[in-house]
Chains A and B, each alone.
Chain A
Amino acid sequence: MASSALNKRKGAKPQKASPKKKQKKESFTDRNPKKPKNVQLLDHSDEEEIEEHEEEFDGVMEGSGSDSDTDSYGGDDPLPGSDDSLHGSDDDDDEEEDEEKGSSDSDSDADIEKKSKSIDKENERMRREAAEDVEVNINQESNEFRLPTKQELEEEAHQPPDLSHLQRRIQEIVRVLSNFKKLRQREGASRKDYVEQLKRDLSSYYGYNDFLIGALVEMFKVAELLELIEAFEKPRPICLRTNTLKTRRRDLADVLINRGVNLDPLSKWSKVGLVVYESQVPIGATPEYMAGYYMLQSASSFLPVMALAPQEKERVVDMAAAPGGKTTYIAALMKNSGIIFANEMKEPRLKSLTANLHRMGVTNTVVCNYDGKELPKVLGSNAVDRVLLDAPCSGTGVISKDESVKTSKSSDEIQKCAHLQKQLILAAIDMVDANSKSGGYIVYSTCSLMVAENEAVVDYALRKRNVKLVPCGLDFGRPGFIRYREQRFHPSVAKTRRFYPHVHNMDGFFVAKLKKESNLKPTTAESRLSETLEAETVDIDISMTEDDSEKNARVDDQQHLTDEDTKSEKNVSEDGKLELPGTVKKRKEKKLPSFFSHLKGQFPGDQKVEKKVKLPSGQKKEKKVKLKFPPREEIAKAREEKRRALRKSKAKNNNIGPGEQ
């Protein structure tokens, strides 16, 4: 009957779980001898079916067995848990047992019962163990992240990098570092170890070289760093700028939408920008583009021109003009009045510059091919109203456009770029006329994130020329760094602006706006001292005389940018100790610490402290914050004297003491 069919089905079932399999087989072999018995007890109606099944069963085939079984079940009510899956196996065991109980002798009953109970126990045990295992695993993963040991790292180095593993580890380290006290490893892995491992993982996962990753880690917090690097992997949206000399943004947007371009106004800070989401026609080859109605330009390139804010009928110089996006924007803002000098050093780029100027209908521009450093000689010093210097840089802000920057930049290249930028910014400042009616501004911008190319260059300009920083007018950017590692910049450097891909959704950019205060170049005796504070504010001069002689030696080098200057930037403490040559110091009367008070007036240094130097007019008075103690030998002498005095007084006391008492 149904019971025997059940048996057969049981045998034919696929055995998935191994322990269950074994038991199945056991139970199966036990039951086999019982088959003939069961067969005899069957109704005649099912005999034929059973015989068929037996034949089929000899050549045990899963598929056929199960098929035939299901066929045989067609008429019967489906037993609970009687589908082909293994889940019902326990139930089936029980059912079978029940069935067989009814149909077989009591001896076999007891055996089967025992067996089924032992099977049950086994299953329970396994299930419990598995659950415990899972729990243990979860606990380990959530509570403890361990840095890979040296051995593990070596192993990894031999194998090809496993990206998902790296990504997981990066996320884990970021999580640990964000809550370091709680989540750090017990065996005293320092913060530095975590950061080192993170650097290694980031460079292998994203493809950066060590220098660049190190520089970025120093500039950003870890979570922000990850956002920044992710943002560098994706391209920024395409932007275009309407040419207000020929059309208006509304009209242009209408025409382009008709052509099938999906676009939107750029942001509330720009009245001429449009961002393109997708386009059915090539956006750089529409008839409107060719007629000069718009220019393809990244959003970050709008910023320096907006900061420059050129007025009509002014004279403006663009020192690194190609391919001409910013120059044409300047011309549009000036409405083709005044004069623009567009300079470009590299000849191959001149063609695109002239082509763009003509295409956009700019008529007030002169294009020349000079090295930027020579421009003041050609155009004259103090001759123009505004200058835009979009300096050649390392390009670390536009990694999303050019991936080769990830691996090709090194510390030397950055220093070279910085050197060139410093020379260019001085040339730019020299060209501007401080007394111009409406102008006198210089805008310095780069598409780089490195402090050495941005804030350091601006600080250098502040020290070398009579300029001051003014607000750019771009308040949605982040202020520039005032201090960075061991460097300290003038506090007004906070008026510069930095832009990041992960915050503003535009390329990494830096903008600074300077106003020229006086056409006089500071000479050696008059150069301004910025408040370059070092980490250690108290400085003891080893000897004043040494300083003087060194200052005299350096006076000659003042005007030229020599290696000394670049060295001095690298070696700030040395610079600070020796003081900038020829600097004017206005010092307050210093209060020497009390134990020196009795020595006041005895040292040559004191006289210097009290001297007040007359400053030329028009320059700000800078306060020197450094304290100057008397030189070391004199301090030693003073201490000796004090000790002697003490001994004497003690001796006196001892002599008198017993007498008095």
Chain B
Amino acid sequence: MRPLDEGESTAVFEKLFKFTGNNLKNIVENPSHEGPDPNPGRYCFRLNKNKVYYVSDSLVKRATNIARANLVSLGTCIGRFTHGGSFHLTVHCLSLVASNAIHKVWLKPTSEMSFLYGNHVSKGGLGRITENIVPGDGVVVFSMSDVPLGFGIAAKSTQGYSKLDPNGIVVLHQADIGEYLRMEDEL
């Protein structure tokens, strides 16, 4: 387990910025009440076996005596570096990202299951959408009862999507909570 170096840090923060925008500082400077001290600690990022973890200080300190080979997971995993060196967010970070997201989309109940199977979001399944979405933005997908279902990349802007035919793709799927059941081994 080691802290991220420059390049890795930039990659991670870039990806997070797509989804959270200025709320990124909430994530980074989140006070952590996990430790035994009454003063809240901070959260930090650590890298282990190509996976990036978001952990509080106190946890990191106590986890240092675990050998690298035997350490499996710390705190919350937010994503992994691929073999080629690019960083992808995984579904594990959903709760963290969803609470700080700026671009949101709400799905109709009928199209929830389709998204949870890994399909993209089509125009017909859209219930609500926040404004000012630009194509290429990170979007977090919710159900109508405000349960976060996953996230993806916007394919069209908020104004542009109304011109689409009903089967047009609005949000490209990246990760969803159905993966816990479908792809448990690959996570």
Q: Which residues of A contact B (CB under 8 A)?
A: 255, 284-285, 287-288, 290-292, 313, 315, 336-339, 341, 350-355, 357-359, 361, 363-370, 378-380
Contacts and interface: CB of A to CB of B under 8 A. Distances in A.
A446 to B, nearest CB: 25
Nearest to A334: B34
Interface stretch (B19-27, B71-79, B81-89, B155-163): B71-79
B95 interface: yes
B66 A351 contact: no
B35 to A, nearest CB: 7
Given A287-B177, A291-B148, A364-B34, A354 B72 contact: yes
Nearest to B1: A366
Nearest to B72: A367
B165 interface: no
Contacts, number: 93
Chain B residues touching A, majority SS: mixed
7 cross-chain pairs, A with B, having the tightest CB-CB distances, nearest first = A290-B177, A367-B73, A367-B72, A358-B92, A354-B73, A366-B63, A369-B70
A338 B36 contact: yes
16 contacts: A287-B112, A287-B177, A290-B177, A339-B34, A339-B62, A341-B62, A350-B72, A351-B185, A358-B92, A363-B56, A364-B34, A365-B75, A366-B71, A366-B75, A367-B73, A378-B70
Contact of A366 (B62, B116, B180): B62
Contact of B116 (A290, A352, A378): A290
Given A288-B147, A313-B35, A378-B65, 11 more contacts: A338-B36, A354-B72, A354-B77, A355-B187, A358-B77, A363-B76, A366-B63, A366-B73, A367-B74, A378-B66, A379-B65
Contacts of B92: 358
B119 interface: no
Contacts of B70: 368-370, 378
Contact of B177 (A255, A341, A359, A370): A359
B2 interface: no
Contacts of A358: 76-77, 91-92, 180
A366 B76 CA distance: 9
Interface string B96-124: 00000000000000001100100000000
A17 to B, nearest CB: 70
A255 B76 CA distance: 27
Contacts of B149: 287, 291
Given A354-B72, A366-B62, A313 B180 contact: no
A357 B75 CA distance: 9
Interface of B: 33-36, 56, 58-59, 62-63, 65-67, 70-77, 91-92, 95, 112-113, 116, 143, 145, 147-149, 177-178, 180-181, 184-185, 187
A367 B34 CA distance: 16
B62 A361 contact: no
Contacts of A341: 62
A284 B180 CA distance: 11
A354 B179 CA distance: 13
A359 to B, nearest CB: 5
A45 to B, nearest CB: 84
A255 B36 CA distance: 36
A366 B59 contact: yes
A189 B135 CA distance: 89
B66 A366 contact: yes
A368 B33 contact: no
B41 to A, nearest CB: 12
B141 to A, nearest CB: 12
A364 B43 CA distance: 11
B66 A364 contact: no
B58 A365 contact: no
A315 B65 CA distance: 15
B184 to A, nearest CB: 5
B167 to A, nearest CB: 23
A351 B112 CA distance: 26
B144 to A, nearest CB: 11
A134 to B, nearest CB: 64
Contacts of A359: 177, 180
B59 A364 contact: yes
Nearest to B63: A366
A508 to B, nearest CB: 29
Contacts of B187: 351, 354-355
Nearest to B115: A287
Nearest to B59: A339
B80 to A, nearest CB: 13
A495 B12 CA distance: 53
Contacts of A337: 33-34
Nearest to A340: B59
Contacts of B185: 351
A290 B181 contact: yes
Nearest to B36: A313
B72 A369 contact: yes
Contacts of A378: 65-67, 70
A291 B62 contact: no
Contacts of A291: 147-149, 177
A367 B145 CA distance: 32
Contacts of B59: 339, 364, 366
B152 to A, nearest CB: 16
Contacts of B113: 287
User: Which of B65, B72, B75, B76 has the most C-beta atoms of chain A within 10 angstroms of its own C-beta?
Assistant: B72
Contacts of A363: 34, 56, 75-76
B42 to A, nearest CB: 14
A339 B62 CA distance: 9
A52 to B, nearest CB: 78
Contacts of B73: 354, 357, 365-367
Contacts of B35: 313
Contacts of A313: 34-36
B58 A339 contact: yes
Contacts of A366: 59, 62-63, 66, 71, 73-75
B48 to A, nearest CB: 11
Nearest to B43: A363
Nearest to A255: B145
Contacts of B147: 287-288, 291
A370 B187 CA distance: 21
Contacts of A290: 116, 177-178, 180-181
A359 B94 CA distance: 9
A358 B187 CA distance: 11
Nearest to B184: A355
Contacts of B33: 337
Nearest to A364: B34
A255 B185 CA distance: 29
A497 B143 CA distance: 44
A285 B181 CA distance: 8
A323 to B, nearest CB: 10
Contacts of B67: 378
Contacts of B116: 287, 290
A357 to B, nearest CB: 7
